[in-house]
Structure formats: structure tokens, C-alpha cells
Amino acid sequence: MSRHVLLIEDEQHIAEAISFILGRDGWQVTHLSDGMTAEAAMKTGRPDLVILDLMLPGRSGFEILAAIRADAELSPMPVLMLTAKGQGRERDEAERAGVDRFMAKPFSNAEMLAAVRDLAGGA
């Protein structure tokens, strides 16, 4: 059975890099470039994990994360939040909102793969 990641990232080169890294490891990656359809995609696609950029067109990563944690059906889903900011207030706000892991850009391929495997229960 294929493992599935929903990647919500508006920077195309980052999305392509993550998709390549995870695809090579056997993950099916669904990519969205904005936050407007994120909840619907989570409910219909049932990913094992969400990788969520903080700054997105349409809806912020914080808004999407809050919606995930407020929805009983989606709430257990692990969320890895990415940001170019990576420090202080954003990290604190993400942790208060219920993010499972926070990763600053740029990140290494190994760091991304290890975080995804860990959040997916060692899969």
C-alpha cells in the first residue's frame, strides 16, 4: 500500500524537490500550490501526512492548521510545517496551533525524509 503525503507549497522548485525526495522513497505526493482547497483535498485524498507551507496564497498555513485541528475527522493527521522565516514567533504560534513538526527552509533532503518517516510512524 502506498503512503500518501499532501504537500501544500506555493514555491514550485521546493515542491518539486520534496516530491522527488519522497517519491524516490515510495511516497505518493499530491501537490497543491495554495491553501484554498486544502481541507477538501485532505478529506477526499486521506493523506497519511500533510506538509504545509506557512505563507501561502489564499489561506495561510496557520489558518489551514487551525482548520485541521478543529475538525475531528482531520485532527489526528500529522502536520509538518515549512517556513522560510523559521524563528521565534512563527514557531511558537505553530506549536500552539498544534503542529507536529516545524522545519525551516532551506532543509536537507535527509532532514525532510527523516521528519516524514518519523511523523508517519516510522513508515
pLDDT higher than threshold 80 for residue 59: yes
Domain-located, residue 113? no
Task: Give me the pLDDT at residue 1, please.
Answer: 56
Classify burial at 26, counting beta carbons within 10 Å of its beta carbon; exposed 0-12, middle 13-18, buried 19 or more: exposed
Domain-located, residue 61? yes
Domain-located, residue 73? yes
For residue 86, the enclosing domain spans 3-108
Q: What is the mean pLDDT of the chain?
A: 92
Backbone torsions φ then ψ of 49, nearest 5 degrees: -160, 145
pLDDT higher than threshold 90 for residue 121: no
Q: How many domains does the chain have?
A: 1
The answer to whether the bond into 47 is cis (omega within 30° of 0) is no
Domain-located, residue 114? no
Domain-located, residue 65? yes
Q: What are 5-34's pLDDT values in tens digits?
A: 999 999 999 999 999 999 999 999 999 999
Domain-located, residue 118? no
CATH number of the domain at 41, please: 3.40.50.2300
pTM of the model: 0.94
Would you call 102 helix, strand, or coil by DSSP?
A: strand
Task: Give me the pLDDT at residue 25, please.
Answer: 96
